[in-house]
Amino acid sequence: MAAETARALQGDGGADGKPRHVAIIMDGNGRWAMNRGWPRLVGHRRGAERVKQLVRACPDMGVNWLTVYAFSTENWKRSTEEVLGLMKIFRRYIEREADGLAAEGVRLRFIGGRERLDRKLQDLMTGIEARTAGNTRLNLTVAINYGGRDELLRASRRLADRIAAGHVVEPTEADLSACLDTAGQPDPDLVIRTSGETRTSNFLPWQAAYAEYEFSQVLWPDFTPEHLASILDRFGLRERRFGGA
């Protein structure tokens, strides 16, 4: 792909050299709690509070899109207690933050397969998506029961249906992108993973093809707006060539 075409599809951050779309793998909640002798769910609750803080800070940093990895398709392998606790945290977050998000101009969307989630959570997700659909100050996307390979498989099936129906003749990258959970959203400029791990963990493999990556040693509950600001400053020093010389 030519560099110019890649830039048109992927974006090149904001005019000030800062990323307009940041995606975060929020890792380290369980370890943060266990390091203190607390149950893992305490770390997840503290991590949810950190999300609230970052959501409020992002617009002032020039970040218009924030995507966070909350629960992967692989996380179902965790203990029943932890999974049920996480689902309860998700429900409470939506219920308690709905008014605040709407008032602060945040548009909330979810990506990932919803069929495995309980009906109450699905209804809450649908409701807050509709309620905040007109907001533009910050676009917040939460990945729940999300896996990049699963998303690509589901997108491929949707594209195959469109081809069979005659809506698509010779599929392009844009056609597949339109079938993804993130259809209509810009690709991330920057992907951050906290806790010192250096895996991408099946997070946005298609969308992050041209993203810059930053791996932070900080556990997610300790990750502050100041940590994010430092990473954004470093991003501005990178030269993004998108395959060009």
pLDDT score of 3: 36
pLDDT in tens, 141-155: 999 999 999 999 999
**What is the strand order of the sheet 138-146 is part of?**
106-111, 138-146, 65-72, 21-25, 190-193, 212-215
CA 164 to chain CA mean position, Å: 31
Binding site per annotation, positions for substrate: 28-32, 40, 44, 72-74, 76, 78, 193, 199-201
What is the dihedral angle through the alpha carbons of 49, 92, 144, 213, rounded to the nearest 10 degrees? -10
pLDDT in tens, 174-189: 999 999 999 999 999 9
166 — pLDDT class (breaks 50, 70, 90): very high
Tokens of 152: 């690509």
Binding site per annotation, positions for Mg(2+): 27, 212
pLDDT score of 236: 84
Nearest to 64 by CA among 15, 8, 130: 15
Binding site per annotation, positions: 27-32, 40, 44, 72-74, 76, 78, 193, 199-201, 212
First CA to last CA across the chain, in angstroms? Answer: 13
Mean pLDDT, residues 115-126 taken together: 97
Distance CA 108, CA 188 (A): 16
75 is catalytic: yes
User: Which of 75, 135, 150, 222 is labelled catalytic?
Assistant: 75
- In the chain the domains, ranked by start, together with CATH numbers, are 18-146+188-235 (3.40.1180.10)
